[in-house]
Amino acid sequence: MPDVVSLIRTKRDNTRPLTDREIGWLFAAYASGEVADEQMAALLMAVYFNGLNGAELRAWTGEMIASGETLDLTGIGKPTVDKHSTGGVGDKVSLILAPLVASCGAAVPQLSGRGLGHTGGTLDKLESIPGWRASLSNDELKAVLKSTGAVIAAAGSGLAPADRRLYALRDVTGTVESIPLIASSIMSKKIAEGTSALVLDVKTGSGAFMKHEEQAIELARTMVSLGEERGVGTRAIVTRMDTPLGRNVGNALEVQESVAALSGEGPDDLMEVTYALAEHMLALVGIDTDPRAAIASGRALDTYKEMIRAQGGDPDAPLPKAPHEVEALPAPATGWLTKLDALAVGVAAWRLGAGRARKEDEVSQTAGVRCLAKPGDRVQEGQPLLALYADDLARFGPAIEALQAAGVAEVASEPPPPVTLILRQVGG
C-alpha cells in the first residue's frame, strides 16, 4: 500500500514516475482525509519543480475527472463543442462566441468561471444583466442547451471536485503556474462537462497568464493531448494578449461591447479572435458555414437574447452604469499609438473594482476601463487614452497609479505595422 510521505519523496527527488496505482490511491486518500492538505501541498510543490510525464498526467487528470460526476449531453440532438480561454484583459469572446456558434447549428455547453486578479470572469460579466443567473442544475443546463443551442453557466460542484480543492491549495502555495497542473485543472472540467469537441484559446503576452509564447505553446500541446486521449476532438490557437481585446474592460462594459459585436459593430481585433475560434469550433463538428453570415443576418444576436432569457435575464434591460468617470493616461507625444499595455489596464480595472483579489470578494458590475485609443490610432500629446469608471471615488487613485509606470503607452512618428493576433494552431 502506498504512503503519502514516500510519494512526496519520490516526486521531490524525481527518482521515478508515479504509477497509475499510486496516483489513484493518492486521490482516494485525499478525498477520504487520510492525506492532509499540507501533504498534498508538498506534493504539488514537488510537481511544480519536477513536472508530470505523459503517463502521470493522464492518470492525474483521469482521477480528477473520476472524483465527481460527468454530464451526458448525447440527448441534445446537435453536435456539442465548447471553447476555453486561459484569460486576458477585455476578453469577452465567450459572450459573443457561444451564441454565434449555436446560431450556426452546433450546441455550445460553456461552463465558465469568475475573474481573479487582472483577468475578467465570464460569469461576472453576465451577472451585470438584470435577472441573469449563473447557477443551473444539470437538468436546467441541458434544457437551456436543447432549447437555445447555447448555455453559459457555472460549473456545478459535482464536476471534478478534486480540482476545486487542488486549485485552492495551488492558489495559496505558489504552485499555480505549473503547466501540468494548469492543463489537468482545465481539461478535467472540460472533459467532465461532456462536450464532444473543444477549442482552446491559449493567450500569451503581458496581459496573459503565459507571458512567453513558448510556454503558451507547451500548455496548448499538453491540453490538446489530454483531450484527444479522452476522445474529445481538441485543438488550440495561441493568441496575442499584449493589448486589451476590444475597447472595453469591465463587467457591464464588456457586455455592452459584446452586444455591439453581435450586432455587427465589433472592433476588428475582437472579431478576428472570435471568428477564428468560431471557424475552428464549427470545423471540429463538421459544420460548413460562415459565422460572419450569422452576425450579418442577426441570427447570432437573436440566439444571444434567447440564451439570456432562458437563464432568467432581460437582454433588453439597460445595463448598470458607474456614477463616476475620470479620463486618464495622457498620450506621451503626438503620433501613432504603438503600445497600450494589457497588464497595466487590467490591473487598473481590477483596482477600480471590476476584479477580485480573492475568490470570495465581490466585484462591481459597473467599474472598468474604456480604451479611447488603441495601437494604430493617431493621438495628440496629452490626449487621454483611457476613461476610468468606478462606484467609489477612492478607487481612482490606486487605478491611476497602475497606469503611471514607464512604457504603459508608447507613441511613434510612424504607424505600427499590422499585427495578427493569431500566432499558432496546435492540433486538429
pLDDT digits (tens, 9 = 90+) for 308-351: 999 999 999 999 999 999 999 999 999 999 999 999 999 999 99
Residues marked active site are found at 84, 163, 170, 185, 189
Instruction: Please check whether residue 154 is in contact with residue 111, taking contact to mean a CB–CB distance below 8 angstroms.
Output: yes
Q: Kindly state the DSSP code that residue 239 receives in the 8-state scheme.
A: E
Instruction: Please check whether residue 150 is in contact with residue 98, taking contact to mean a CB–CB distance below 8 angstroms.
Output: yes
Instruction: Please check whether residue 203 is in contact with residue 281, taking contact to mean a CB–CB distance below 8 angstroms.
Output: no
Q: What percent of the chain has pLDDT over 70?
A: 99
Please give the pLDDT value at position 319: 98
| 37 vs 249: CA distance, rounded Å | 36
Indicate if the pLDDT at residue 65 is higher than 80: yes
Indicate if the pLDDT at residue 116 is higher than 70: no
Please give the pLDDT value at position 362: 85
Higher pLDDT, 115 or 122: 122
CB atoms within 10 A of CB 263: 13
| 22 vs 8: CA distance, rounded Å | 11
Residues 6+ apart with CB under 8 A from 364: 250, 251, 322, 352, 353, 354, 390, 391
| 181 vs 168: CA distance, rounded Å | 12
Please give the pLDDT value at position 406: 84
- pLDDT band at residue 219 under the 50/70/90 scheme: very high
109: its cell numbers: 455547453
| 247 vs 253: CA distance, rounded Å | 9
Q: What percent of the chain has pLDDT over 90?
A: 89
Map 79-127 to HEC letters.
Answer: CEEEEEECCCCCCCHHHHHHHHHHCCCCEEEEEECCCECCECCHHHHHC
**pTM score, two decimals?**
0.95
Q: What's the chain's average pLDDT? A: 95
Please give the pLDDT value at position 386: 98
Higher pLDDT, 119 or 385: 385
Looking at residues 118-137, what average pLDDT do you find?
92
Please give the pLDDT value at position 293: 98
Instruction: Give the domains, in start order, of the chain with CATH numbers.
Output: 4-50 (no CATH), 74-310 (3.40.1030.10), 324-412 (3.90.1170.30)
Looking at residues 200-207, what average pLDDT do you find?
96
Q: Kindly state the DSSP code that residue 78 receives in the 8-state scheme.
A: S
- pLDDT band at residue 419 under the 50/70/90 scheme: very high
Please give the pLDDT value at position 2: 85
Phi, psi dihedral angles at 150 (to 5 degrees): -150, 145
Length of the chain, in residues: 428
Please give the pLDDT value at position 117: 65
- pLDDT band at residue 176 under the 50/70/90 scheme: confident
136: its cell numbers: 443551473
| 233 vs 206: CA distance, rounded Å | 30
CA distances from 409 to 254, 382, 403, 404 (A): 22, 12, 9, 9
Phi, psi dihedral angles at 139 (to 5 degrees): -65, -40
- pLDDT band at residue 161 under the 50/70/90 scheme: very high
Single-letter code of the amino acid located at 301: L
